[in-house]
Structure 1
């Protein structure tokens, strides 16, 4: 189980086994596994010629595309470290990530260079700059990177060599770079793929963003390992996904609750003629039981809900394939993983009682880049402390009860209140701010801000919303803004977020 070597072995093994099978279908452009292997070899040669060396960090900042998956595996073959970044991030977010990571190279998309370009202007050390899509001054077009033919000698990565750095915020301060190794990511992809019965003819419907760890592992890497086709979209298109499920022969869907919710609604309005879905996997946030029921009825399939986090590569718990699922439960630890529910002193709590979920297994990160204290706190005692509150039932199935952290999950995307609060405090009229998640029937949670204005200052909720919108990715800004006279606080002055009412 798993690979001790470079994650690119997932691709080279599959290309040797089924070279003519379609690997990726993106907007009707297809690429076989043989072509995928050759294109990644050629790009690895080209990036090496441009000066990129093993161990150096390369930012990969573009929407889902054939170029994205080719760059990802080319960087693996070269032995570089990939830093996938959300192409919607703004200057403030990118500045920290680019500098903290020590990146040497940047590969982006011509349509999404405005904010990255502003940051790169002050970072001459990132001197390898490529872009796909529309021509951009100062960037080598990706298709003009010199290509050599012939197999690339895949870098002999060690088990603990960092392969990906994925930035994830806690509830405090700036984003932290989770360092994930070749072993972390390849073992997670092969484990979850081997857990399920997947017909070789099946197509995985992929609309999760590949810059997110869930999309990388569950959509891309697991498909490459299995040698199945990944039908890739730039983003979720409800009508196209619905049509694919109805018209294709054999499909699986790996998605977040918002997608299942929207598709369930569609099936109510216009029932499917037929469903090609073998099974579905849900992760990224808790999936309401009612949505599971409606989706499974509408699409004649089973959803296996799971749980993961960036620091775990990401999957660590899932409802076991082929057995009765327990709606509302995230399931059992996947093979190779252990999970415990513990109290304040890390002692296991009795069955049924609530405690913090901690996990251990081959997907757990090396640590946070440049953050020894945060690493020690999170990985204490050899267990990854998730910050999520959970309980176990009599069959050891795990249920997430609440979040110890205050993270908001909006449509499967993580939003960290502290980050948004920091931006709100930059507004000249804002004295105090608190950001919380508010239940939302479609997105799971919506971002809401409660704001106290400075005496004599004037600002409307629209003003404040627009101010934040300019400074963060579109999914992060608070749609709900309430102006109030004071925030509820403890006697020590700490804001009592649980007491905030936005009605």
Structure 2
């Protein structure tokens, strides 16, 4: 097996009549999903797609995303997943940078994608379910799967741009296959009886590999959620007797704050997984108390296909930790001179393994800077305990240096999240003439609660060293978030008195 699409072919041969996808009341079997992807491959080839051509996929969490994803791979193309909410200039940039030959867009998209495609001179194909189904029925299925090498690119996934201009992480068939297998077998221990909740966006690496690909690998049912809404997700978990839920911290916080959880039947859940950002320990414990399902936290990034470490089921879980490296993956913690730090000390997390990207698309200098010696520099600061468990301290670039003292925003955010009125908190550094940087915090309060900034500042001041508590605090209605639910600190409007 080389081509990632062969997972679907293999699963369909074993579990042809088992349900693969569900959206509302519509259910697609694995035999149907296999056929539809084969017809999609035939359609793409008939329209001139060649091996290695890039096809941009701009759809929400609908069955057509899965059909097209595997169809593109099956035809020998490279999938370029894109957020359906991108603006025209962002779409144009990614289409030009990737060299995509086609943009496939959802019929209910706001139209920005089409404008971007026109500006980039890229063909656009609009997917409307009934018309798309009709078009596919006219195609003779292309049952064969295009031959690919281990290091051929399968997915070109653009990073969120938190460290500058978005770059295309070139993920290989071998890297994605390895990470999918480890997730499905080692981490999730998934079976065909499992039901995965598909509320993470499939255009994002977390939802794409850990939910969609892992479900297909296992022959499990993927129940799709096009738009996350806490109450709707709870209803779907109950309706489908879902067994595996995966989300980012903001999703867990929303489920925990949902007012109608007393009667929510989530008894089918056997595993909850958090990633994408650090999960506040208070949210973790609150969720477990409310819903009775343990939350296991891990760490990953687009460049690592994505999972690097995880609180694995066969080892004790440590709240606040991102766990230990997954199978075949190595990690190191390095100082500014690229030397290993002492046990318990903070260093930059570096990763090596079969899950690493091939590089940044057409960016050899950026690739060499990120992977200078076979070890990917993640830009995350972490420490490791004597049992090998890792703890993310913060992003290296988010480190606040206040008067020569290092302040890690994650630590201050954890304290703020302990306050009963705080729903979300983002701690960051702001310029200060005297100290270089000062600690600041933007805070979203829970619905129906109240708290003053003075009260919140005092709450933190009592719990951290004097140089760590935020001197500037302000209340906001919401925090800016990326497509995966990660808080985008660079976009926070700073309010300093």
The TM-score range, normalised by the shorter chain, is: 0.7 to 0.9
Tell whether 2:282 aligns with 1:290: yes
Cα gap change, 1:83 to 1:117, in 2 (>3 Å) = same
1:187-336 equivalences in 2 (<5 Å): 187-195=178-186, 196-266=188-258, 270=262, 272=264, 275-336=267-328
Residue of structure 1 aligned with 2:493, choices 462, 465, 481: 481
SS of the equivalent of 2:272 reads: strand
1:330-345 equivalences in 2 (<5 Å): 330-345=322-337
Q: Which residue of 2 aligns with 1:495?
A: none
TM-score calculated relative to the size of structure 1: 0.79
Matched residue pairs, number? 429
How much has 1:113 moved relative to structure 2? 5.3
Q: Which residue of 2 aligns with 1:405?
A: 397
Residue of structure 2 aligned with 1:43, choices 27, 32, 40: 40
Cα gap change, 1:264 to 1:190, in 2 (>3 Å) = same
SS of the equivalent of 1:39 reads: helix
Cα gap change, 1:267 to 1:383, in 2 (>3 Å) = farther
Tell whether 2:179 aligns with 1:182: no
Q: Matches of 2:120 and 2:71 in 1, distance apart?
A: 24
Q: Which residue of 1 aligns with 2:359?
A: 367
TM-score calculated relative to the size of structure 2: 0.80
How much has 1:361 moved relative to structure 2? 1.1
CA deviations 1:38-96 (Å, max 9, x no partner) are: 01001110111011111000010011101110000000100101100000011221121
Cα gap change, 1:168 to 1:406, in 2 (>3 Å) = farther
Q: Is the 8 A contact 2:191 2:219 kept in 1?
A: no
Q: Is the 8 A contact 1:24 1:32 kept in 2?
A: yes
Larger RCO: Structure 1 or Structure 2 (Cα < 8 Å, ≥ 6 residues apart)? 1
How much has 1:240 moved relative to structure 2? 2.0
Q: Matches of 1:172 and 1:273 in 2, distance apart?
A: 41
Q: Matches of 2:182 and 2:109 in 1, distance apart?
A: 35
What is the root-mean-square deviation of aligned Cα atoms in Å?
A: 3.2
Tell whether 2:383 aligns with 1:391: yes
Cα gap change, 1:290 to 1:482, in 2 (>3 Å) = closer
Residue of structure 1 aligned with 2:20, choices 23, 38, 50: 23
SS of the equivalent of 1:380 reads: coil
Note the residue ranges of structure 2 that are not aligned, 5 or more in a row: 400-408, 411-425, 429-439, 447-476
Note the residue ranges of structure 1 that are not aligned, 5 or more in a row: 410-414, 418-435, 443-464, 484-501
Deviates more, 1:367-376 or 1:273-282: 273-282
Q: Is the 8 A contact 2:162 2:488 kept in 1?
A: no
CA deviations 1:421-480 (Å, max 9, x no partner) are: xxxxxxxxxxxxxxx9845568xxxxxxxxxxxxxxxxxxxxxx9xx99xxx99979885
